[in-house]
Chains A and B, each alone.
Chain A
């Protein structure tokens, strides 16, 4: 599957544009030659709707654009379109994502490689447009691949990766890219837009093979199976998720060869970790204020860095073990909550602790919940996180707690 290309042969023909994360996704929809997309407005996903509609109206993109009567129909439309061989795109946010939940569950069960974005937004009630990761994370156990982007550029790159990985026959699973509402979806940044020729090299045509629902290929999809078959079907999904790890690695290598982006590690983005004793760990746009804090703290003599998670599912357990076991203490910053969970921690905190449990030498892992509902992570909060992480180092047990950061009492 590896692609033979000269190093960065397309760098001269990329175009530089100023665009939001939503517009970057719309560009990816155009470049991937998506057949069917379904839309229903909810902020921040509606930014993609509008950007895609504009590309169509301006004659730059040809896609069957279906406005549904609600999110459930929206996700059902693309699921069915995918089953008949269409490359598809869909997305939603917050409670809209939850309204589609039944369709979201069956899409993964059916192994249909729908590509979605979840424009991360706090769940109602109360109403809040800002980012929180609980909407995406609610599907974490269902068989969706879940990458998270930091920048508009990465949003576009991950979208192109999503069709490549999801549609790979070894995987054949849906992908939902997490995009932080406002900070990523609605903020414009400089984005390098690749050429169609380069994308065509990276992204083969979608081919469902003998699973294509077509009159010439009579099949029945998803009959009632009861306990007689179900466990074998779940096992198939488990195996597909395991294979996704290697397929992502492969696709990442090809992507880097073609476009020169993506870093050395497909799953983790490390910042100033070479000599670090303490690291922050998180996903999405919170990496940006934390990198600012790291540069500031380093000036004060602290050996601190950042490990940003790029793929939450499949969870890169071995990569995380290899990376985090080097440090004295890790401050896991969750932009989510998991009420009543172990040590009342966030989702990432407990996943990371579970991954490191059997290590002989493991860092202290401290939990932080910050930035909920799109609250900005300000520098004093970053300092607070650092000081609490540093103070906990040396005793594994001192990580058995979760700190809420930047919350009024």
Chain B
């Protein structure tokens, strides 16, 4: 095994609040501990300003591995590395961009990745499908897809689905100078005494699919959100900021990148009962002139509560976020072209727009992941 040419490597794990915090922490810690087996040193930390207890919010954790303590110092006492060698997204919908906090704007998933670095995504989709929803590359990088859906392993109770081991195995494939597969497997063996976990790392190593991305590849369809933070002479006095006017939404914080699934509404079956509008914790529903409730996708975090409280079967359906290219409100579409809208609804959701037609079995697969509002961690399971 050759010695690394660089003196350190920086890896970030982009994850979703609550469900994936422990997963991200386990990956980052394991990177350092595996690298330690071959004599490197390192640090693992979470971005301090993140609030990873917020449902679905894109948050980050980091691992830095260096050849010695002196080289590591340049990466210490930081909130967030400005440049990373590898960005790992443990939910493929994160490739649509990351807006972690107010005034950060929506940032492309590859934003901190250096030229010829790696974006590693856990996904059941092909690299081309993932790339189709990733912002246009400004510099070349390698897109690596590790098979597997978005893990909802949990925060307090960690229900391990081996996502961490598959990711570590894939990382050993792209950064062997820093993290060797043998070391990863030995570490997992020590930690779990579970041969299937060890084999998951090998599977991640073997099954990772890589695609070179050239500058200019990707989609230009995502909205650009960038803000200039005010200085002390341009800020208002006394920690005062303008409040939102009634009906106005926050222009500096949209929140929609928190979404793994989005609610899609069948306006034909809506009974205008107001439940979604009342229960939405982010006040995402606008009442239409006819008394329907349309989702403002700019504000929706995809929590799924509307779909849970809706009394009409399949009137609000939660659908994989990667199936959508825009954040346009859809009521006008339905108003102008009901048949067209209903076809679109069926194509996206896998559910018939006609309530007399039974929902095809394909829906379970077609709607993607489990409803995140039904927190899988509340079930009894293994404790970490």
Contacts and interface: CB of A to CB of B under 8 A. Distances in A.
A binds B: yes
A110 interface: yes
A110 B239 contact: yes
B38 interface: no
B251 to A, nearest CB: 14
A232 interface: yes
B243 A227 contact: no
Interface string A230-245: 0011011001000000
B232 A239 contact: yes
B235 interface: yes
Contact of A223 (B229, B231, B241): B241
Interface stretch (A213-221, A277-285, A358-366, A379-387): A213-221
B100 to A, nearest CB: 11
A111 B49 contact: no
A221 B232 contact: no
Interface in B215-233: 229-232
A228 interface: yes
Contact of B242 (A218, A225, A232, A236): A218
Nearest to A111: B238
B193 interface: no
Contacts of B231: 232
B240 to A, nearest CB: 5
A219 B239 CA distance: 10
A109 B232 contact: no
A296 B239 CA distance: 53
Contacts of B245: 218
Contacts of B236: 210-211
B2 interface: no
Given A227-B49, A228-B103, A236 B241 contact: no
Contacts of A110: 238-239
B243 A109 contact: no
A219 B245 CA distance: 9
Given A232-B231, A239-B232, A227 B79 contact: yes
Nearest to A169: B237
B336 interface: no
B5 interface: no
B237 A232 contact: no
A225 B79 contact: no
Interface in B233-290: 235-245
A220 B240 contact: yes
Contacts of A210: 236, 240
Contacts of A229: 229, 235
Interface in A71-113: 109-112
A110 B240 CA distance: 8
Interface in B190-232: 229-232
A326 to B, nearest CB: 37
A172 interface: yes
A172 B238 contact: yes
A223 B242 CA distance: 11
Contacts of B243: 218-220
Interface string A192-228: 0000000000000000001100000011111101111
A215 to B, nearest CB: 10
Contacts of B241: 219-220, 223
A80 to B, nearest CB: 13
A232 B241 CA distance: 14
A179 B257 CA distance: 56
Nearest to A230: B239
Contact of A109 (B49, B239, B242, B244): B239
Nearest to A240: B237
A222 to B, nearest CB: 4
Which of the four size classes fits the interface of chain A? 20 to 34
B239 A225 contact: yes
Nearest to A218: B243
A233 B235 contact: yes
Contact of B235 (A226, A227, A236): A236
Contacts of B238: 110-112, 172, 211, 221
Nearest to B230: A232
Contact of A218 (B237, B239, B244): B244
A211 B237 contact: yes
A103 to B, nearest CB: 15
Contacts of B244: 218
Contacts of A236: 232, 235, 237
A218 B247 CA distance: 13
Contact of B240 (A211, A227, A228): A211
A124 B49 CA distance: 38
Given A218-B242, A223-B241, A235 B49 contact: no
Contacts of B240: 210-211, 219-221
Given A232-B232, A235-B232, A236-B232, A111 B237 contact: yes
A219 B242 contact: yes
A222 B239 contact: yes
Interface string B368-381: 00000000000000
Nearest to B235: A232
Contacts of A223: 239, 241
Give the most central of B229, B230, B237, B238: most A CB within 10 Å.
B238
A211 B240 CA distance: 7
A147 B79 CA distance: 40
A172 B239 contact: no
A228 B237 CA distance: 16
Nearest to A238: B232
| Interface hub of B231, B235, B245 (most chain A Cβ within 10 A) | B235
Interface string B292-319: 0000000000000000000000000000
A220 B243 CA distance: 5
Contacts of B239: 109-111, 221-223, 225, 233
Nearest to A208: B238
Nearest to A226: B49
Contacts of B79: 227
Nearest to A232: B232
Nearest to B248: A218
Contacts of B235: 229, 232-233, 236
A243 B173 CA distance: 61
Contacts of A225: 239
B228 to A, nearest CB: 12
**4 closest Cβ pairs, A-B complex:** A218-B243, A111-B238, A232-B232, A235-B232
11 contacts: A110-B239, A218-B242, A218-B243, A218-B245, A220-B241, A221-B239, A222-B239, A229-B235, A232-B230, A232-B232, A235-B232
Given A220-B240, A222-B239, 14 more contacts: A210-B240, A211-B236, A219-B241, A219-B242, A221-B238, A223-B239, A226-B49, A227-B49, A227-B79, A228-B103, A232-B235, A233-B232, A236-B232, A239-B232
